[in-house]
Chains A and B, each alone.
Chain A
């Protein structure tokens, strides 16, 4: 470790904008990263961690300025270089793995060519040799049928394969340093594991230094040698990964570690007294689903997608029933059919004994107050032009007329339930943070006093600490109001924290279901075992 570091960042300062709108995003960051090591920069959105990555790459967006500090790679001052010279460094000495594989490959160029062009730029390979080498690289990053895939276009590959292509591009010219900016946050957990494994192999094979930017402490715990925790543009704590996570010194790190779902396995408990169980509540399940099916017609009927193939579920009153699955498993389609947002092809949904699938028109409309939905993207599910007060009381207006005073009072009460102060009443969605927006969405769902809340990935767009607060809020609300939850998630770590029963879905079918403790501790299906094993952060947690 005594050798000179591959990457050294000294006293980095970056600001956005100018004049009164100036925002100091990075305030004096120092980093040091040796060959063959992985340094994780961990922080929540707005911490400045991505800005650090961009500054290292010399790809700061318009309006951002590096006001002070030095970035050195292999002793060369990148910050002193002109753009032309930097273009020779990027891709050759510094590689980059972007966040979102679905948008990071050129849709009109073939996969092989997108690797080959980097090779032609930085090596002496001619067109044919570069194309041949691109196929080899595809093979090295674990893409099956590399020759076929090289001739395909990005839209013909799944997200995991695209991310492997991007990793291949990053390592194409065997750089000394690779900057990976949230490389797996858009991927399913099982895919995430394979992709990260692949990065580690390449690092080991070439002795590459990796700067891993992530919001996920568990990923950092599994993969990094060293960790740097950032908050408000500053490093609040740094050190060996194991030490930082097992014995966090700074308050913020402790909060982050405490909030990270991957590092904890306990079920959250309500912090409030549960509402007294009203008499006459039967033991019969609140919701029963039998043989639910949905097929989406493909182009011309040939490519029809069987999204849900005969799902049976029983959801008891006041429990949290989680459906876990990866993208394409049919979990969201199932939830939407239960909420009657989309129609099922066949099967039966009974809510409190009443057949939901047969309901139409006015009866269905009145019934909707019993089942409410909270969606994944909190900002997108709120009308940007409405104030919070109107947003949360709008469902009520479908039922009866509210005077201005009643409306204000109800809105205040609803916000209070989701622990938001009355000062938020006049705000609009754009003025809310992600967590606040999701609270407003929950308040809106609660407005009509539903019995069942369908929560479709309610926390997966949120930062970990916010995620934990929203989950805790949901647990408390459940106890206070005697709610039943249908919780849809791709993240077993989150599901573990909140659910009583779990159903694991894959390819439109329920592979197994049962009490949460049982499914998690003694999974019967191979797929569930794989999902469990893929949760990052387990080594450190145990």
Chain B
């Protein structure tokens, strides 16, 4: 029965999923195009620029050597040719060769990514949990002025710059208390302080969306019904308020990941960690355009995929969307039931 239903739903599920996949692909393509245009709009020859940064006045200007280097870095041929071939190479996982280090960009990213993801994921979790805690505290707080005061705390997370929180955390928890290492990227302990630093702005953004959703749900008629049923406070908050409030909050996870990708640059510098942020900063300073493009593309793909997953998750979490997905192929007779119903 159940498996038959699932087969029956294959069509509409595809119709629900396909546009979201196309959207994700579009985001990746558009990011690639904009990045490509920006880099090629910069004045000067990219290979020359990279060489100049590396070797200063001693950089070679021999046209043959330069051509060979261009071919090596995939920067030969017409602009259009580069545009197309680099994009196709993306699908093979080929991000080109770093001009500054000579390594494959994909290898560099693959080595750095897990360290960054560890910090970012922990920051995301801490931010989410922190925002949740503050939201519930603010929701339960009486009287009004106390609620107002609690609501003012999370925005500080975004107002205080990451390098300042980072330095403060290092001096307290690494130097004075010695609980966590001040730098490096070995083991879980080393991710804690950078993750906390990043979780503050992340949590602040979560809080803004989350608290608005919780306060709105708290005023809703169904919460009143739940309270009139005599349900206990944790059940009212957990099942009735939070389950409805998480829906808007998870929408912004995609945005948060975009933010974290940029935010790690500062944190990795402050905590002297290896990671995507460090690579990016070094690449920009070295005018290493292959690495810059590669990192931007990896972040774009992660962003697009997360947003897509979140969108799809809506179809699972929100029964209203679930039935809309499921009801599509069944024609009028069935689709009419939810709206019309029978009152007699």
Write the residues of chain A forming the contact surface with B, with a CB cutoff of 8 angstroms: 57, 59, 62, 86-92, 95-96, 98-100, 103-109, 114, 117-118, 121-122, 144, 153, 155-161, 166, 169-170, 188, 190-191, 194, 298-300, 302-305, 328
Contact call A303/B341, Cβ cutoff below 8 A: no
In angstroms, Cα B341 to Cα A194, docked, is 14
Query: What are 9 sample pairs from A and B whose C-beta atoms fall under 8 A apart?
Result: A59-B228, A90-B230, A98-B224, A103-B220, A106-B240, A155-B338, A158-B339, A161-B343, A303-B336
Contact call A169/B239, Cβ cutoff below 8 A: no
Residue in chain A with minimal CB distance to B340: A158
Once A106-B244, A299-B328, A300-B328 are accepted as A-B contacts, the answer to whether A169 and B319 lie under 8 Å apart by CB is no
- Going nearest first, the 10 A-B pairs with the smallest beta carbon separation are A158-B341, A91-B230, A96-B228, A160-B343, A103-B221, A90-B230, A303-B335, A91-B229, A104-B221, A153-B319
Residue in chain A with minimal CB distance to B337: A156
Residue in chain A with minimal CB distance to B228: A96
Contact call B230/A104, Cβ cutoff below 8 A: no
In angstroms, Cα B240 to Cα A161, docked, is 21
Contact call B343/A303, Cβ cutoff below 8 A: no
Q: Which of B218-271 contact A (CB under 8 A)?
A: 220-222, 224-233, 235, 239-240, 243-244, 247
A118-B229, A302-B331 known; 12 new pairs, CB 8 Å cut-off, are A87-B232, A90-B227, A103-B221, A107-B320, A108-B318, A117-B235, A118-B231, A155-B319, A157-B341, A300-B15, A302-B335, A303-B332
Write the residues of chain B forming the contact surface with A, with a CB cutoff of 8 angstroms: 15, 144, 220-222, 224-233, 235, 239-240, 243-244, 247, 317-320, 323-324, 327-332, 335-344
Residue in chain A with minimal CB distance to B244: A108
In angstroms, Cα B243 to Cα A486, docked, is 45
In angstroms, Cα B327 to Cα A159, docked, is 20
Q: Which residues of A contact B317 (CB under 8 A)?
A: 108
Contact call B225/A104, Cβ cutoff below 8 A: yes
Q: Which residues of A contact B319 (CB under 8 A)?
A: 107-108, 153, 155
Once A117-B235, A156-B323, A302-B329 are accepted as A-B contacts, the answer to whether A92 and B230 lie under 8 Å apart by CB is yes
Q: Which residues of B contact A109 (CB under 8 A)?
A: 239-240, 243
The residue from A62, A103, A191, A303 contacting B222, defined by CB atoms under 8 A apart: A103
Once A96-B228, A303-B327 are accepted as A-B contacts, the answer to whether A328 and B15 lie under 8 Å apart by CB is no
Q: Which residues of B contact A105 (CB under 8 A)?
A: 222, 225
Contact call B328/A169, Cβ cutoff below 8 A: no
Q: Which residues of A contact B331 (CB under 8 A)?
A: 302-303
Q: Which residues of B contact A88 (CB under 8 A)?
A: 230
Q: Which residues of A contact B244 (CB under 8 A)?
A: 106-108
* Residue with the greatest number of chain A CB neighbours at <10 A, chosen from B243, B341, B344: B341
Overall SS of chain B's interface: helix
Q: Which residues of A contact B233 (CB under 8 A)?
A: 87
Contact call A107/B336, Cβ cutoff below 8 A: no
Contact call B335/A100, Cβ cutoff below 8 A: no
How distant is A183 from chain B, measured CB to nearest CB, in Å? 12
How distant is B8 from chain A, measured CB to nearest CB, in Å? 14
Residue in chain B with minimal CB distance to A190: B343
The residue from B232, B332, B338, B339 contacting A121, defined by CB atoms under 8 A apart: B232
Q: Which residues of A contact B329 (CB under 8 A)?
A: 302
Contact call B227/A328, Cβ cutoff below 8 A: no
Contact call B225/A155, Cβ cutoff below 8 A: no
Contact call A117/B328, Cβ cutoff below 8 A: no
How distant is A63 from chain B, measured CB to nearest CB, in Å? 8
How distant is A27 from chain B, measured CB to nearest CB, in Å? 24
Contact call A155/B320, Cβ cutoff below 8 A: yes
Residue in chain B with minimal CB distance to A113: B239
Q: Which residues of A contact B328 (CB under 8 A)?
A: 299-300, 302-303
In angstroms, Cα B328 to Cα A99, docked, is 32
In angstroms, Cα B247 to Cα A105, docked, is 17
In angstroms, Cα B344 to Cα A300, docked, is 30
Once A59-B224, A161-B341, A300-B328 are accepted as A-B contacts, the answer to whether A121 and B323 lie under 8 Å apart by CB is no
Q: Which residues of A contact B327 (CB under 8 A)?
A: 299, 303
In angstroms, Cα B226 to Cα A90, docked, is 10
How distant is A380 from chain B, measured CB to nearest CB, in Å? 19
Residue in chain B with minimal CB distance to A144: B342
In angstroms, Cα B340 to Cα A159, docked, is 9
Contact call A117/B323, Cβ cutoff below 8 A: no
Contact call A299/B324, Cβ cutoff below 8 A: yes
Contact call B228/A90, Cβ cutoff below 8 A: yes
Q: Which residues of A contact B318 (CB under 8 A)?
A: 107-108
Q: Which residues of B contact A170 (CB under 8 A)?
A: 228
Q: Which residues of B contact A303 (CB under 8 A)?
A: 327-328, 331-332, 335-336
Q: Which residues of B contact A122 (CB under 8 A)?
A: 230
* Residue with the greatest number of chain A CB neighbours at <10 A, chosen from B228, B317, B330, B339: B228
Contact call B229/A107, Cβ cutoff below 8 A: no
Contact call A166/B320, Cβ cutoff below 8 A: no
Q: Which residues of A contact B230 (CB under 8 A)?
A: 86-92, 118, 121-122
In angstroms, Cα B339 to Cα A92, docked, is 32
Contact call B231/A121, Cβ cutoff below 8 A: yes
In angstroms, Cα B329 to Cα A12, docked, is 57
Q: Which residues of A contact B335 (CB under 8 A)?
A: 298, 302-303
Q: Which residues of B contact A304 (CB under 8 A)?
A: 332
In angstroms, Cα B322 to Cα A155, docked, is 11
How distant is A73 from chain B, measured CB to nearest CB, in Å? 13
Contact call A155/B222, Cβ cutoff below 8 A: no
Q: Which residues of B contact A90 (CB under 8 A)?
A: 227-230
How distant is B217 from chain A, measured CB to nearest CB, in Å? 9
Q: Which residues of A contact B235 (CB under 8 A)?
A: 117, 121
How distant is A9 from chain B, measured CB to nearest CB, in Å? 18
Q: Which residues of B contact A305 (CB under 8 A)?
A: 339
Once A160-B341, A300-B328, A302-B331 are accepted as A-B contacts, the answer to whether A104 and B222 lie under 8 Å apart by CB is yes
In angstroms, Cα B230 to Cα A90, docked, is 4
Q: Which residues of B contact A156 (CB under 8 A)?
A: 323, 337-338, 341
How distant is A483 from chain B, measured CB to nearest CB, in Å? 36
How distant is B99 from chain A, measured CB to nearest CB, in Å? 51
Contact call A194/B344, Cβ cutoff below 8 A: yes
Contact call B229/A121, Cβ cutoff below 8 A: yes
In angstroms, Cα B224 to Cα A169, docked, is 13
Residue in chain A with minimal CB distance to B317: A108
Q: Which residues of B contact A106 (CB under 8 A)?
A: 222, 225-226, 239-240, 243-244
* Residue with the greatest number of chain B CB neighbours at <10 A, chosen from A108, A155, A298: A108
Once A299-B328, A302-B331, A303-B335 are accepted as A-B contacts, the answer to whether A91 and B228 lie under 8 Å apart by CB is yes
Contact call B229/A155, Cβ cutoff below 8 A: no
Q: Which residues of A contact B324 (CB under 8 A)?
A: 299
Q: Which residues of A contact B239 (CB under 8 A)?
A: 106, 109, 117
How distant is A134 from chain B, measured CB to nearest CB, in Å? 12
Q: Which residues of A contact B225 (CB under 8 A)?
A: 96, 98, 104-106, 114, 166, 169
Q: Which residues of B contact A92 (CB under 8 A)?
A: 230
How distant is B216 from chain A, measured CB to nearest CB, in Å? 12
